[in-house]
């Protein structure tokens, strides 16, 4: 019986993968043996992560309030108090599901959804951390294209001159290999999705004329590296006995990646030999 967290940068496909993996695990383990967040197509009365249940969990685990307060001290604050409480309650309710007999509690909104620093790990109790982390990664250009193209509604919107700066960073991440027509479309989509005012044709043409410097995982500035799943954080998690599997989603299609996720989970549960997933 384990708590599994799907982790990775924005756009890597955690929510999509969670639904696919949960469905496949149910085919192997049974419907009642798997709990997954997001809770898609689950009747409200059967949901485990409702707002009311989160409130009840908090009232019965007051120590979480102190933990969230410590993680938001000014010197290490990377997320809001509410953000920490939501993630702590997510993992807490997953632990509760496991105690109630669920074999796999799969979440994509656990602690590693936040920008966790190494200092935070020392403040978090072991019960607030998952047993297995499936770290989904992808080529930065592929991630950026997914981030722009996906249908997520709530996004940070840039204003004023920050619009151009953010778009240029996105353009550099996409790289120069993509033809100009596709880059133009993505810049237009970026403006509509992430900016308070869409880009004009003149602005897009100006940005496309600027020299492009491709961004890779190694060439990112330190500020960008200190995001989700920081390498030092992953090392600290492994030091606490948490198993971490890194899966590159840019190398495989969704079905293959989902199969690899299921195999990693079933392996931890003790399934040996060839797994029929």
Q: For residue range 152-196, what is the model confidence (pLDDT) as tens digits?
A: 666 778 888 888 888 888 888 777 677 788 888 888 888 888 888
Which band of pLDDT confidence, cut at 50, 70 and 90, is reported for residue 252?
Answer: low
Shared domain for 9 and 117, answered yes or no, is yes
Shared domain for 123 and 93, answered yes or no, is yes
Which band of pLDDT confidence, cut at 50, 70 and 90, is reported for residue 222?
Answer: very low
Shared domain for 23 and 133, answered yes or no, is yes
Shared domain for 110 and 64, answered yes or no, is yes
Stated pTM of the model: 0.75
Residue 277 lies in a domain: no
Shared domain for 115 and 247, answered yes or no, is yes
Residue 221 lies in a domain: no
Average pLDDT score over residue span 65-70: 95
Residue 155 lies in a domain: yes
Whether residue 93 contacts residue 49, with contact meaning beta carbons closer than 8 Å, is answered with: yes
Q: What is the CATH number of the domain that holds 234?
A: 3.40.50.300
pLDDT at residue 138 is higher than 50 = yes
The DSSP call for residue 8 is -
Q: What is d(CA 196, CA 159) in angstroms, rounded to the nearest whole number?
A: 6
Shared domain for 202 and 258, answered yes or no, is no
Write out the H or E segment, with its range, that includes residue 107: strand 104-107
Residue 162 lies in a domain: yes
Percentage of the chain modeled with pLDDT above 90: 30
Residue 215 lies in a domain: no
Number of independent structural domains in the chain: 2
pLDDT tens for 27-41 read 888 888 999 988 877
Q: What's the mean per-residue pLDDT of the chain? A: 83
Average pLDDT score over residue span 12-34: 86
Residue 18 lies in a domain: yes
Residue 214 lies in a domain: no
Give the Å distances, CA to CA, from 153 to 17, 40, 47, 194, 230: 19, 17, 23, 10, 26
pLDDT at residue 223 is higher than 50 = no
Question: What does the pLDDT read at residue 214?
Answer: 53
Shared domain for 155 and 128, answered yes or no, is no
Which band of pLDDT confidence, cut at 50, 70 and 90, is reported for residue 53?
Answer: very high
Identify which has the larger pLDDT, 75 or 146: 75
Shared domain for 24 and 55, answered yes or no, is yes
Average pLDDT score over residue span 234-250: 88
Which band of pLDDT confidence, cut at 50, 70 and 90, is reported for residue 44?
Answer: confident
Identify which has the larger pLDDT, 125 or 137: 125
Average pLDDT score over residue span 55-64: 95
For residue 236, the enclosing domain spans 2-138+226-269
Q: In the block, which residue shows the tokens 């590693």?
A: 112
Which band of pLDDT confidence, cut at 50, 70 and 90, is reported for residue 65?
Answer: very high
Residue 219 lies in a domain: no
Shared domain for 123 and 245, answered yes or no, is yes
Question: What does the pLDDT read at residue 139?
Answer: 78
Shared domain for 194 and 92, answered yes or no, is no
- Beta-sheet strands, E only, within 103-192: 104-107, 132-137
What are the structure tokens assigned to 20, written together?
């696919």
Shared domain for 34 and 72, answered yes or no, is yes
Shared domain for 35 and 127, answered yes or no, is yes
């Amino acid at each position: 019986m384990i708590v599994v967290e799907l982790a990775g940068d924005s756009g890597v496909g955690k929510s999509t993968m969670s639904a696919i993996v949960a469905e496949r695990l149910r085919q192997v383990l049974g419907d009642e043996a798997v709990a997954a967040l997001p809770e898609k197509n689950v009747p409200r009365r059967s949901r485990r992560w409702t707002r009311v249940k989160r409130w009840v969990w908090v009232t019965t685990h007051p120590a979480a309030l102190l933990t969230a307060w410590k993680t938001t001290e000014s010197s290490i604050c990377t997320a809001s108090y509410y953000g920490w409480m939501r993630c702590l309650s997510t993992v807490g309710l997953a632990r509760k599901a496991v105690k109630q007999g669920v074999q796999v509690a799969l979440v994509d909104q656990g602690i590693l959804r936040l920008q966790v620093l190494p200092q935070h790990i020392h403040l978090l109790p072991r019960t607030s951390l998952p047993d297995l982390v499936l770290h989904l990664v992808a080529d930065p250009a592929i991630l950026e294209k997914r981030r722009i193209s996906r249908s997520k509604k709530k996004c940070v919107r840039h204003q004023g001159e920050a619009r151009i700066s953010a778009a240029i960073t996105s353009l550099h991440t996409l790289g120069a290999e993509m033809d100009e027509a596709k880059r133009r479309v993505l810049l237009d989509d970026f403006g509509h999705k992430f900016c308070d005012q869409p880009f004009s044709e003149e602005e897009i043409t100006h940005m496309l004329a600027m020299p492009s410097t491709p961004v890779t995982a190694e060439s990112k500035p330190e500020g960008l590296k200190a995001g989700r799943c920081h390498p030092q954080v992953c090392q600290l998690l492994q030091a606490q006995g948490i198993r971490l599997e890194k899966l590159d989603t840019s190398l495989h299609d969704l079905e293959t990646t989902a199969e690899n996720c299921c195999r990693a989970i079933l392996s931890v549960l003790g399934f040996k030999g060839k797994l029929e997933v």
